[in-house]
């Protein structure tokens, strides 16, 4: 369980348009061990999906660019591999990704069985057709779909079943890392719970590590070992699940995230949303990116980027921790 699978260090990604440079990911670092699940949490535009696309080397060709950092996966820096090596040896086979909307991820004119078989055929040259057929049946059963339905088309499946098919395709080559980008957001709540339970069960049985991208802290609590909170392209708080859900010390943004979900034990009429908007990633402010929305903002926050403060497995990037002298400062870069 403690063998490191992937190490992302100081990753920076930009999108370049004719008018501006968007700083989408600004020097993030994290590690994930084999079989572990990390939840990448934050609001829309925080850089979560860009981080995933960077790891997969699937950024839009004309505009997206990784400008620094390294992504060490099973000892190889993915940023140094050729496009062909990424396509043939890493994507699908070692690292698979599932996207938010299962309908757009599936081909409407191919049966689900053919779509799973195609993924297996692409990555395993030596396997014959009867073995592929057997594997298709196995992965469908694995995600809770009867193999007798392999000749059906995506429109014959419900939303939750379609997402199971997408997960079956992703798992068909037994990847070591599964990146799931909001895998349950397009599903209704009861189906969400089923799909999440199934993903947790698969993770336990197959020992697949997962990066789960979500804005839902409930989903994180249900399935993750580690949590990384992202804001304006930076990781502002990282810790094990209990660091985030049990500890009393948090980044003000994380406090805001928890305030924005209902607490059934408290009698309050309204939720407390985080006031304001995330800064324009093409015009990030000097100092802390959260300064305009932060109730604790100090002069130093407008001048200097916060360092990362470390307490065991719990990291927080906020000047409050220097002021309160709570934790030892650690210059993460
Ligand atoms: Fe708020 Fe300052 Fe901490 Fe940023 S560094 S979150 S502005 S207290």
What sign does the CA torsion over 207, 212, 218, 221 have? Answer: positive
Q: What is the pLDDT of residue 319?
A: 94
CA of 250 to the centre of ligand 1 (A): 11
Higher per-residue pLDDT: 102 or 276: 276
Round to whole Å and give the CA distance between 112 and 107: 8
**158 closest CA partner among 169, 144, 171, 172:** 144
> Which stretches of 172-206 are DSSP H helices?
189-206
Average pLDDT over residues 250-273: 73
Least confident piece of the model among 46-50, 159-163, 313-317, 325-329: 325-329
How remote is the CA of residue 296 from the centroid of ligand 1, in Å?
6
The 3-state DSSP class for residue 16 equals strand
Ligand 1 contacts (CB < 6 A) are 251-252, 288, 290-291, 294, 296-298, 301, 306, 318-320
Residue 54 has pLDDT above 50, yes or no: yes
Q: Which two tokens stand for residue 3?
A: 């063998």
Nearest residue by C-alpha to atom 3 in ligand 1: 318
Residue 296 DSSP one-character state: T
Q: How far is the CA of 299 from the centre of ligand 1 (A)?
A: 10
Residue 275 phi, psi (nearest 5)? -70, 145
Q: What stretch of H or E contains 253? A: helix 252-259
User: How many other C-beta atoms lie within 10 A of the C-beta of residue 158?
Assistant: 12
How many A from CA of 38 to the centre of ligand 1? 24
In angstroms, what is the span from residue 236 Cα to ligand 1's centroid?
10
Q: In what order do the strands lie in the sheet with 4-16?
A: 21-33, 4-16, 64-73, 76-77
Point out the ligand 1 atom lying closest to the alpha carbon of residue 302. 7
Strand (E) or helix (H) holding 2: none
Candidate from 306, 323, 329 with most ligand 1 atoms within 8 A of CB, to mutate: 306
**317 alpha carbon – ligand 1 mean position (Å):** 8
Total-model pTM: 0.88
């Amino acid at each position: 369980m403690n063998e490191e699978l992937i190490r992302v260090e100081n990753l920076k990604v930009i999108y370049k348009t004719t008018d501006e440079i968007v700083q989408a990911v600004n020097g993030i670092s994290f590690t994930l061990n084999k079989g572990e699940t990390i939840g990448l949490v934050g609001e829309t535009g925080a850089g979560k999906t860009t981080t995933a696309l960077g790891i997969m080397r699937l950024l839009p060709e004309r505009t997206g660019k990784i400008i620094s950092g390294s992504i060490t996966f099973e000892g190889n820096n993915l940023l140094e591999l050729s496009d062909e090596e990424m396509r043939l040896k890493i994507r699908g086979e070692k690292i698979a990704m599932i996207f938010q909307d299962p309908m757009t991820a599936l081909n409407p004119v191919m049966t689900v069985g053919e779509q799973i078989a195609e993924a297996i055929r692409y990555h395993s040259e030596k396997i014959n057709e009867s073995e592929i057929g057997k594997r298709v049946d196995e992965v469908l059963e694995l995600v809770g779909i009867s193999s007798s339905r392999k000749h059906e088309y995506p429109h014959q499946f419900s939303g939750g079943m379609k997402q199971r098919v997408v997960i079956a395709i992703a798992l068909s080559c037994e990847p070591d890392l599964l990146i799931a980008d909001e895998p349950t957001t397009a599903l209704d709540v009861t189906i969400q719970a089923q799909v999440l339970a199934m993903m947790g069960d698969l993770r336990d049985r197959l020992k697949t590590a997962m990066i789960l991208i979500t804005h839902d802290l409930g989903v994180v609590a249900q399935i993750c070992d580690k949590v990384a909170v992202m804001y304006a392209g930076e990781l502002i708080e990282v810790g094990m699940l209990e660091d985030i859900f049990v500890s009393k010390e948090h980044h003000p943004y994380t406090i805001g995230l928890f305030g924005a979900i209902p607490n059934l034990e408290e009698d309050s009429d309204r939720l407390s949303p985080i006031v304001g908007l995330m800064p324009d990633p093409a015009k990030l402010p000097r100092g802390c990116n959260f300064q305009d929305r932060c109730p604790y903002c100090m002069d130093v926050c407008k001048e200097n980027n916060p360092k990362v403060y470390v307490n065991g497995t719990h990291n927080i990037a906020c000047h409050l921790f220097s002021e309160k002298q709570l934790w030892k400062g650690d210059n993460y870069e």
